[in-house]
Every structure is written in structure tokens, then in C-alpha cells.
Amino acid sequence: MVISSAVSAPNGAFDNVSRDLKVVFTGPMGAGKTTAIRAICEGEALSTDVPISAAEAKVGGKTMTTVGLDYGECHIEDQWVLKLFGTPGQERFRFMWDILGAGAFGLVVLADNSQPDPVGEVERYLSAFAKHVPVRRMVVGVGRLDSHATPSIDAYCDRLAALGLHVPVLEVDVRRSADVRLLLSVLVSMAEVEYEQQLH
Amino acid sequence: MAEGLVIGTRDIAHKDQMVLKALVRLLEGGTNIHARFSETLQECNVVFVPFHGAYQLHADCIMVRVVHGDKSDAPVEASSDLSVAAPLRLTNVIAVLQSATQRVHGMAPYDPVRGLLALFTLLGEHTRTAEHRRAVVPVSSGQQIIFDFVQQLVHTAMPLDVVLSGAYTLGTPHRVSLVEEELIRSVPSHSLRQLLWNLTLRLAQAGAPAPQRLGNYRLLRWPDAVGLAAPGHPRLAALWTHRALSLDQIDAMSGVPAHTARWFLETCLVLGLAVADNSDPAEGAKTNAASPAKSGVSAGRSNTAPRWFGHLRERLKLW
């Protein structure tokens, strides 16, 4: 499997263009990264799920968790391929984040609003991937807002803006493919504008 | 003719008249149905009369036949008349007055765009001023919409499709009464922001004229998910969060229909997401010069972005 091919250099412009577009889905365990990739990609997604440990079993009734990566792809015209990678959520697999983040075109951070300090978690992921993906190609999707109303989307925006992270923060339910497509629509729109500005 | 109902009676039983007067007073004070009682028939636009009998009232007057007992199934004297069964009760009087209201407004057909604009203006004013309270807005159909600007909710028995049809006129907002407190608990609730963004779409689709906006604007923050769910909105948000742009520049660069862009900006201004920003006119001029010529929907994008953006959008059904 090719992991490192991508459309852009780290933090950079749209140079070194290959025909692979790599988008990384990251976030804490149980945020819905595997579900999101499966909702959008064609055919079977590749997952490295294992039964969840007793210590981690509290998260949203999950029985399986990703320990390596999730992978799905969508073939676009002209041999372009959108490659979706999901990172493992646990801190002990952090070494995978750099491997998967290298050369990524865009980043989707998924948050689980039922977990303690979800905004802090988002900050952590955005910072961890900032060396690979520019902030202008990052988007945040917040799940379980219907059952856990706080922190609100406004609270996310305020805290992230205070750190200079002016990223879109959207309420999503990644079980709905339209919500995942919304995240990608925003990401593609941001990249498109960035590309146009570079041309001018 | 007055916007509300002016109700009178002729020849109906004294008891029915007294009940009707009391009900109209109750409706006016409680549910704000815009009705009042008058002893002067010439100023009435709704007159309650007995089931039988020929009455000559002025041309715009709606007659309501009061039907007693076993006559309730009988056809009313004239097909254009309304009827109500006696004894008069709150429920059947409300129903017949709602029908009468629709007829009164039917004489001057609704302009849906005007209705939508009025609703948008009302929501905009309350949201923009951050007026943290609730408001009841009577609707010409005899129903009402209760806006809760604290909880960001809309309470109404009207289906949202009807609210978004614009086929009504809005009354003057007033504070929530005790009767309406009860009503809030019994009718469905909807998201105020969702209503506002749906209204934005309807206004754009209808080509409703948006206020003139000169100068440059930028977004301080991205709209929420419901605001980005429409075609072109992510593109507009990406452009306006990137830097301050005028509507003319947006028209030239975005490839998004002009009405969509204008109503998107209006809603962002209402929600406090957008601000005027003319801090760097030179930058604006530079952008203008660099922008492609004003063109159609897809041309704005295809002249600038590489093809794979378009393919990606098509393949994943992005917008």
C-alpha cells in the first residue's frame, strides 16, 4: 500500500503534484473515524480493528478499535485517487500519526462531545498534524452534540480561534454519508481557494 | 378592509351573541388572532347570522351561518357562506375564524416573496440586536409562530413547509402571554438557525432582492453545518474567510449564482459571522484585476482551479 504519495508538500503549496489525494481522518477513540471512511469510500475499507480492551470499553459501547490504520479509496477521473486514511485514536499509537500525516492533502479531526474535554482533544490533534497539513486545509467534525450539548460549536470556535486556529467546526453524525461529504466539501472548497490564490 | 377580522352578528340568539363576544375577546387577548367585535355592521367583515334567512350585507363581508342541532349536516344557505355549529365553543369558533381570515386575505393574494422577506427581516432584527427574549408573531392564517431567541428555537403548529412558503402576512410581534406559554409545550419545536438558513435558500431560489451591500466583507467564523449544506455555500465561506471581498468580486470569482451569494452574506451578517472590512482597498483592487471576467456558474471555477477539483466534487457528490 502506498502511504506517502500526496498532492502537496508538507505545509506547502500545490507542488509535487501526484495523482493521489491523501486525506487523514483523526481524533480520539470512538469519534467515528472508521465509520466516516466507510461512509464515503467505495467497496470494502481496510481496517485493522481488534477487540477493545477492558480498560477502554467505556467509550460509546464500542467493541472493536483501530490499532494500525483505516484505509479506503475513491477513484476519480484521469487516474486520480482519493485516499482516505484513519489514524488509531489511542495515544500509544501516536507514532502512526506522523507516518499517516506525511504529505497529506487535508485533515479531518473528529471529536466526540461525550468525552471529557473534547475541545482540548481537538487542539491536541490539530497541533500534532500542523507540521504535515496547513491549518487552511483542516476541518473539525463534532459528533454526539445531540446528546451532549456542551461544549457548543461556538465554544470550540472560540477556544481554537484563541490559538489562531480558524478552522471550520461542524456538527456531524458520521453515520450519515452526507455529513462526511459536508466535511469533504468544506475541505475541497478551502483547498480550491488556496490554489486560486497561489495562481494569482 | 382592515387586516384583522371585525366581527358582528345579526339576528342570532342572544346567548350565542354573548358567547361569541366573550370568545372573540379571549382570542384577541390570548392567542392574538387579530379579531375584534363590533356593533356596527357596516365596518364588519365577518357577520354571524342564523342558518336560515337571506341577508344583504356589503360585498366584502363574509357570512357565518350558525347551525343549531340537527341542521348541522344541511347545506348552508349560500355556497359562499361559512358555517359553525352551535353551541359556540372556542374550538369551532377558532376554526371558522381561521377560514374567514384566509378568505379575507384571499381577496388580496399573498406575495410569497414578500412573506419570506418579512420573516427574514423580523428574524434578522431580533437576532442582530441579540435581543434575548421570546416573541410571538401572529400569522394571517390565524396561527402564530413563537420565536425563542434565548434557546434558539421556533415553536409553531404550522408545518415548516408552510412557514417557508411565505404565503402569509405577519402581524406585530409581542411578548409571550400565559396562554402562549401553554401553547409552546403543545406544538413542535424547530431550530431557529435551521429556519433562517432554509429561508436563505428560498429567498435565493426566488430571486428575492437582497439589500445593496457596497464595500468588502469577510467572515469572522465559518457558518455551522446547516449553513454549509447548500450548493455553493462552502465555496462562498472559503472565499470570505480567506480574505475580505466585495459582492462584485465574489460574483467574478466564485461561480456561485449572485442571489445565492447575496443571501448567504445577509444571513452571515445577521448571525454575526460576517463583518464589513474595507481595511485594505488596494488589496481589493488587486483582487479585482486578477479576477476572471464575470461568467457563468461553472466557468468561475474551471478558469482557475485544476480539473481534479471538479472531478472530485462530481465523484463524491460534493457541493
Taking 60 as the threshold, does the pLDDT of residue B111 lie above it?
A: yes
Least confident of B108-117, B224-233, B286-295: B286-295
Does A7 map to a domain? no
Residue B91 Cα distances to B24, B47, B282, angstroms: 12, 18, 65
| Facing B308 at nearest CB: one of A78, A169, A194 | A78
pLDDT at A27 over 70: yes
Gap from A96 CA to chain B (nearest CA, Å)? 27
Count other Cβ atoms within 10 Å, centred on residue B213.
15
pLDDT surpasses 70 at A9 = no
Partnered with residue B63 across adjacent β-strands are B47
Helix and strand numbers (H, E) in chain A are 5, 7
pLDDT at B242 over 90: yes
For B49, other C-beta atoms within 10 Å of its C-beta total: 20
Burial class (CB in 10 A: 0-12, 13-18, 19+), B237: buried
User: Which has the higher per-residue pLDDT, A72 or A42?
Assistant: A72
pTM of the model: 0.73
pLDDT tens track for B276-311? 997 755 554 444 433 333 333 344 554 456 788 888
CATH number for the domain that contains residue A116 = 3.40.50.300
Query: How far is the alpha carbon of B315 from chain A, nearest alpha carbon, in Å?
Result: 6
Per-residue pLDDT band for B151 (boundaries 50, 70, 90) equals: confident
Distances in whole angstroms, Cα of residue B162 to Cα of each of B34, B165, B166, B199, B315: 20, 5, 7, 12, 35
Name the residue facing B316 among A169, A184, A200 (closest C-beta): A184
| DSSP 8-state code for residue A72 | E
Contact with chain A for residue B84, Cβ under 8 A: no
3-class SS at B275?
strand
ipTM, 2 decimals? 0.83
Which DSSP state fits B139?
Answer: B
At residue B91, does pLDDT exceed 80? no
Within 8 A of B318 by CB-CB distance, chain A residues are 181, 184-185, 188
Side chain identity at residue B107, one-letter code: M
Residue B208 has pLDDT above 90, yes or no: yes
CATH class of B5-106: alpha beta
Mean pLDDT across the stretch A8-22? Answer: 59
Chain segment B153-194, per-residue pLDDT in tens: 999 988 888 889 887 888 888 888 887 787 788 889 999 999
Is the pLDDT reported for residue B107 higher than 60?
no
Buried b (16+ CB within 10 A) or exposed e, B268-287: bbbbebbeebeeeeeebeeb
Rg of chain B over Cα atoms, rounded to whole angstroms, equals 26
Domain count, chain A: 1
Nearest to A142 by CA among A31, A36, A65: A31
**Structural domain spans, chain B:** 5-106, 112-196, 212-316
Q: Which chain A positions have a beta carbon within 8 Å of B232's beta carbon?
A: none
Residue B127 has pLDDT above 70, yes or no: yes
- Compare B259 and B128 and report the one with higher pLDDT: B259
Domain containing residue A146: 20-199
pLDDT bracket for residue A198 (50, 70, 90): confident
Q: Does B35 touch chain A (CB under 8 A)?
A: no
**Signed CA dihedral, B26, B32, B33, B35: sign only:** positive
Residue A177 lies in a domain: yes
**How near does any CA of chain A get to the CA of B219, in Å?**
11
pLDDT tens digit string along B20-79?
A: 998 888 776 545 467 889 999 889 999 999 988 888 888 778 899 998 876 555 555 455
Q: Residue B316's closest chain A neighbor by CA?
A: A181
